[in-house]
Chain A
Amino acid sequence: AQSVTQLGSHVSVSEGALVLLRCNYSSSVPPYLFWYVQYPNQGLQLLLKYTSAATLVKGINGFEAEFKKSETSFHLTKPSAHMSDAAEYFCAVSDASGGSYIPTFGRGTSLIVHP
């Protein structure tokens, strides 16, 4: 069975500071991993994905994540936070069971950016 744990329901940073959102996964087979962003009253948007290619994945809006198999982690980072980054971020895992890639989502981390 696959699962995701996001450490910290809320993360608060100052504008311009480093953003680090933590995600650990559990999967019985090599997984696909995803980060989604959800702005208020909107659906989820895919930020980036890991699909067994390069372990450092670059996504939209300056975000990137690194797949570390030994740590079963897929933390999301951004060097410098913008006010517009304030949103809910979801980590998700899929083990492609049965040939489909239905993600299992974590509980989400709310990113708060202070001026």
Chain B
Amino acid sequence: EAGVVQSPRYKIIEKKQPVAFWCNPISGHNTLYWYRQNLGQGPELLIRYENEEAVDDSQLPKDRFSAERLKGVDSTLKIQPAELGDSAVYLCASSLDAGTSGGDYNEQFFGPGTRLTVL
């Protein structure tokens, strides 16, 4: 079974340029997460989707970040314009849902991430 796929793996851009990241979750997973992982830190949740609906985007900087999950499968995270402080690894994860099924915790499966460098 294929895992969570992300592209590109690496991206280098100059500040004020736009950038987009793409994520394809595991087939059948309803919940999709975007995390940002700064150097030397743990991942921090940016946004969570339940199918097509963004149910938790409180940590998403909405002035420059946007995300979409059309048809409840693939997702795209965009930054426009990028700033120096946006340099980080952007991780996508998916799970069956964000709760439990049959009393068992639904594990999140992470993609390899996109490493963004803003110059």
Interface residues of A (CB under 8 A from B): 4, 9, 32, 41-46, 49, 51, 90, 92, 96, 99-103, 105-108
Cβ of B102 < 8 Å from any Cβ of A?
A: no
- Is there an interface contact between B40 and A9, defined as CB atoms closer than 8 Å? yes
Contact of B107 among A46, A100, A105, A107 (CB under 8 A): A46
Which of A4, A41, A100, A105 has the most CB atoms of chain B within a 10 A radius of its CB? Answer: A100
Q: In whole angstroms, what is the CA distance A99 to B112 when docked?
A: 27
A-B contact count (CB 8 A): 58
Which of B56, B93, B100, B111 has the most CB atoms of chain A within a 10 A radius of its CB? Answer: B100
Interface residues of B (CB under 8 A from A): 4, 9, 33, 40-45, 48, 56, 91, 93, 98-100, 104-113
Q: Which residues of B contact A49 (CB under 8 A)?
A: 105, 107
